[in-house]
Amino acid sequence: MTTPTVPISATPPDALLFVAPGCPHCATVLQGLNQLAGQKLIGKLTVVNVAEHPELAAEYRVRAAPWLRLGPFTLTGVHSPAELRLWAEWANGEEGTAHYIEHLLTQGGYKQAAAFIDADTQRLKPLLAIVADPGAKLEVRLGVNALLESHTNTKALQNLLPQLAELSRHADHRVRADACHLLGLTGSAAARTHLEARLSDANEEVREIAEEAMQVLKKHNATTQ
């Protein structure tokens, strides 16, 4: 995903930073957060020394410092002031959710990404921005599809049917194929019309996936009647 300039959040996120004695990167992160606090780009800044408060470190499952909770995001390791500013600006928007999931998947953090989504399934919707990006990294596209697949036949995925229907008409065949696959997993009879339209798609892969999705949908509807 690209990194455009985004508007500053109307509600600056709070920040919780865990630091440790001898940590080579903690001072850099703390300095960046202090700059954001001075610019009123973050709200309350709380700094915890893990050596002095191991019980808090255990509560938040902190395994290494610096460890930062910035709004809904958990970030580990060193981050420049510019990076911290972006995460602060993204803290309350759908775009930020997509960037955060991309960040986690790039680092191999699928379980953390899944837990983040499961905590609020409305966070599934921003993932469609990645589905719609044929230039996204392969591991990110695969991870996002897996996250969406984990909500097969749920209301959360069904709520995305209008957006998936639109993506099934995308100019790029890879996006159309992924959208068809996900439409079949919604378990919604309303997805059938959109899948039927792709059975005559110009791309063979899209046609095959649309047919497979139709069968998945048909099987699900048969078992729920």
What pLDDT, on the 0 to 100 scale, is given for residue 5? 43
- From CA 23, how far away is CA 12, in angstroms rounded? 27
Is 85 in the same domain as 111?
Answer: no
Residue 23 inside a domain? The answer is: yes
Quick one: 58 and 81 in the same domain?
Answer: yes
Judged by DSSP in three states, 45 sits in strand
Rounded mean pLDDT, 151-171: 97
Residue 8 lies in a domain: no
Mention every residue, 6+ apart, whose C-beta is less than 8 A from residue 204: none
Residues 117 and 68 in one domain: no
Are 131 and 216 part of one and the same domain?
A: yes
| CA pair distance 11, 3, nearest whole angstrom | 21
Indicate the number of domains in the chain: 2
| pTM (2 d.p.) | 0.88
**Residue 25, amino acid:** H
Same domain, 112 and 220: yes
Instruction: Tell me if 6 is assigned to some domain.
Output: no
pLDDT of residue 221: 74
Joined tokens for residue 119: 């905590």
Task: Look at residues 90, 119, 145 and tell me which one is the last residue of a structural domain.
Answer: 90
Domain that holds residue 215: 97-224
Q: Is residue 4 part of a domain?
A: no
Q: How many CA atoms lie within 13 A of 84 on its CB side?
A: 29
Amino acid at 118: D
pLDDT-based confidence at 222, cuts 50/70/90? confident
Helix, strand, coil abundance in the chain, percent, nearest 5: 55, 10, 35
In a domain, 3, yes or no: no
Contact indicator for 70, 88 with CB cutoff of 8 Å: yes
pLDDT at 211 over 60: yes
* Integer angstrom CA distances of residue 156 from 11, 122, 149, 176: 26, 7, 11, 20
| Residue 215: CATH number of its domain | 1.25.10.10
CATH of the domain at 71: 3.40.30.10
The answer to whether position 7 is within a domain reads: no
Last residue of a domain, one of 64, 90, 116: 90
Continuous segment of H or E residues that includes residue 75:
strand 73-76
Which uninterrupted H or E stretch holds 128? helix 128-131
End-of-domain residue from the set 67, 90, 113: 90
Based on the domain organization, do 145 and 212 belong to the same domain? yes
pLDDT digit string, tens, across residues 25-59: 999 999 999 999 999 999 999 999 999 999 999 99
Q: Work out the average pLDDT over 21-25.
A: 95
The pLDDT tens digits of the residues spanning 100-139 come to: 999 999 999 999 999 999 999 999 999 999 999 999 999 9
Residue 183 lies in a domain: yes
* Same domain, yes or no: 81 and 24: yes
Task: Verify cis geometry, omega within 30 degrees of 0, for the bond prior to 66.
Answer: yes
Q: How far apart are CA 31 and CA 83, in angstroms?
A: 13
